[in-house]
Structure 1
Amino acid sequence: MTAVDEVEVVVAHSERATLRVGDVFVKVDGNPGRLDVEVEAMALAPVPTPEVLWRKPNVLAIAKVPGQALGRLGTPSTASAGAWAAAGAAVRRLHEAPLPPWVGPGLDDMVAELDTECEWLVANGVLPAELVRRNREVAAAALRPWKPAFTHGDLQTMHFFVSGDELNGVIDWSEAAQGDALLDLAVMTLGQEDRLDDLLAGYGTDVDVAVIRGWWSVRSLTASRWLIEHGFDPDTPGCEFDVLRARMRD
């Protein structure tokens, strides 16, 4: 085995952890079903994905994808317009691919979760009631029936790796399922709203931007409690709370 200088903890919380050992990423998950989904989804997806090196119960090892992340929440993306367009074109291919066998959360479940999290944010004084009310109003545009598509489920910009204008690979497929294509686009542009046009240049402009804005609100409202309870700060500049505040200016 090739010696390495260190083991880097990429992310770690009570549900899962990802470690980097040289050019190998090792994912440890308390729910092995998520790793099963990840492996199968990468095999089905018509876009570049990491090489699976080995798989054992609760553990998955994948090869490093070359290049730089398309962006990171809380920091303006420095990737080129061409890279964003390439990512958009790849996501369009994914959304038009045959459906995977797993179904993501349904509309009724998502509405119930959203209402629960809105109540918690207000009851615990985490956010002003008017801010939550306004974003719940914006969120309504996203909460409509959708045609199921093959979705990644967690298309953060840090899950895309690019070199110049080229897409090298998309990582972290454990949430892949049948879902709403516009939710994927919303997650990609969360906190990167100024890059939406670049993304749509590759994806196509036949989308309802009001629905994407609605998903920005849904995603930020429903993720906040989990982030707080797992040691992350949604009030970091450019992150979820700033996304919610921006809706007051729409």
Structure 2
Amino acid sequence: MDEVEVVVAHSERATLRVGDVFLKVDADQARIDVEIEAMGLAPVPTPEVLWRKPPVLAISAVPGTALGRLGEPSTASPAAWAAAGAAIRELHEAPLPPWPGRDLGELTANLDGECEWLVTNGVLPPDLVKRNRQVAEAALRPWTPVFTHGDLQLTHVFVDGDEITGVVDWSEAGQGDALYDLATLTLGHEEHLDDVVAGYGTDVDLDVIRAWWSLRSLLAIRWLVEHGFDPSAPGCEVDVLRSRL
């Protein structure tokens, strides 16, 4: 019998691996709906949907290994990072998904609320929060929406050698800012930004990508703490914020 591996588990959802099958348990069926539809629309390799029986979605494993992990050096080649950039460009050039993305006004309000929480509760020094809120401002501008993955952490991109073999976890997909995907992929791995941009193949505003690093980190810390993760681990979100000083 195959061993059951707990990939991730918290109060919102859990993912288990049994052999070559991933079982995603999620009480939010709208999130699963988005994931299934997005995988069907995306022009990049994605897992195969095997079956669905709410609240469980079964998908196939994709070959290869993750591009890396936040807080750890990536062993993937520069060519693999460039291939990830090329795959993102292909996604961004695809027709928009039919559901809307994040609202700029709501995003700004959420950011201000999280900054206030971080300072009021003594989670981060006020000057660190203030500086990163200033940096984040560059991302808070109108953008032309594209088909975005929405949570393109490097653990969600799988490679075999220099080739992309699959992109997983599409529950946050929607219409969004192209630079947000590029920023999410390179969060904590600034040394690979040039490779990703080279693969992406078009000029991008690096200041906006850096702004998204600050913005995403500020927004994530409370959620991570409340769900049992450590954003202050070496190389993770708090270190990303400190690097902006």
Please indicate, yes or no, whether the TM-score normalized by the shorter chain is above 0.5: yes
Alignment of 1:1-250 (within 5 A): 3-4=1-2, 6-248=3-245
* Shift, 1:242, TM fit: 0.1
Percentage identity across paired residues of the two chains: 74
Partner of 1:97, secondary structure, is coil
Larger CA deviation: 42-51 vs 54-63: 54-63
Partner of 1:247, secondary structure, is coil
Q: Which one-letter code corresponds to 1:182 in the other structure?
A: L
Inter-partner Cα distance in structure 2 for 1:83 and 1:108: 36
* Shift, 1:30, TM fit: 1.0
Inter-partner Cα distance in structure 2 for 1:30 and 1:102: 20
* Shift, 1:63, TM fit: 0.7
Partner of 1:55, secondary structure, is strand
Q: Which one-letter code corresponds to 1:187 in the other structure?
A: T
Q: Which one-letter code corresponds to 1:100 in the other structure?
A: P
Q: Which one-letter code corresponds to 1:147 in the other structure?
A: T
* Shift, 1:102, TM fit: 1.3
Partner of 1:18, secondary structure, is strand
Inter-partner Cα distance in structure 2 for 1:137 and 1:128: 15
Q: Give CA-to-partner distance per residue, 1:191-230, whole Å, 9 cap, x none.
A: 0011000101110241000000000000000000000000
Inter-partner Cα distance in structure 1 for 2:100 and 2:68: 28
Q: CA RMSD in A?
A: 0.7
Q: Give CA-to-partner distance per residue, 1:100-140, whole Å, 9 cap, x none.
A: 01112110000000000000000011000000000000001
* Shift, 1:21, TM fit: 0.5
Q: Count the aligned residue pairs.
A: 245
Partner of 2:138, secondary structure, is coil
Q: Which one-letter code corresponds to 1:106 in the other structure?
A: D
Inter-partner Cα distance in structure 2 for 1:244 and 1:152: 23
Inter-partner Cα distance in structure 1 for 2:12 and 2:4: 19
Q: Where has structure 1 moved over 2 Å in runs of 4 or more?
A: none
* TM-score of the superposed pair, with normalisation by structure 1: 0.97
Partner of 1:155, secondary structure, is coil
